[in-house]
Amino acid sequence: MGLNGPTDTAARDVCRLLNADVIMLTRGGPINLTIASGVTVADVCKTTYEEIKKDKKHRYVIFYIKDERQIDVEVIGPRDAAYDAFLEDLQKGGSGECRYGLFDFEYTHQCQGTSEASKKQKLFLMSWCPDTAKVKKKMLYSSSFDALKKSLVGVQKYIQATDLSEASEEAVEEKLRATDRN
Would you give per-residue pLDDT tens digits along the chain (182 residues)? 444 444 455 545 544 544 444 444 445 554 433 345 789 999 999 999 999 999 999 999 999 999 999 999 999 999 999 999 999 999 998 989 999 999 999 998 777 777 788 889 999 999 999 999 999 999 999 999 999 999 999 999 999 999 999 999 999 999 998 888 75
Range of the domain at 141: 41-179
Q: Is residue 103 part of a domain?
A: yes
Q: What is the CATH number of the domain that holds 113?
A: 3.40.20.10
Using alpha carbons, list the distances in angstroms from residue 153 to 5, 19, 49, 54, 123.
42, 24, 9, 12, 11
Q: Is residue 12 part of a domain?
A: no
Pairing of strands 40-41, 21-26: unpaired
Q: Is residue 55 part of a domain?
A: yes
- pTM here is 0.78
Q: Contact 90/99 with Cβ under 8 angstroms?
A: yes
Q: How many Å from the N-terminal Cα to the C-terminal Cα in the chain?
A: 52
Q: Is residue 156 part of a domain?
A: yes
Q: Would you report the helix, strand and coil content of the chain in percent, each value rounded to 5? A: 35, 35, 30
Beta bridge partners of 151: none
Q: Is residue 29 part of a domain?
A: no
Per the structure, the count of domains in the chain is 1
Q: Is residue 120 part of a domain?
A: yes
Q: Which long-range contacts (CB under 8 A, 24 or more apart) does 169-173 make?
A: 169/83, 169/84, 169/87, 172/83, 172/103, 172/105, 172/124, 172/126, 173/105, 173/107
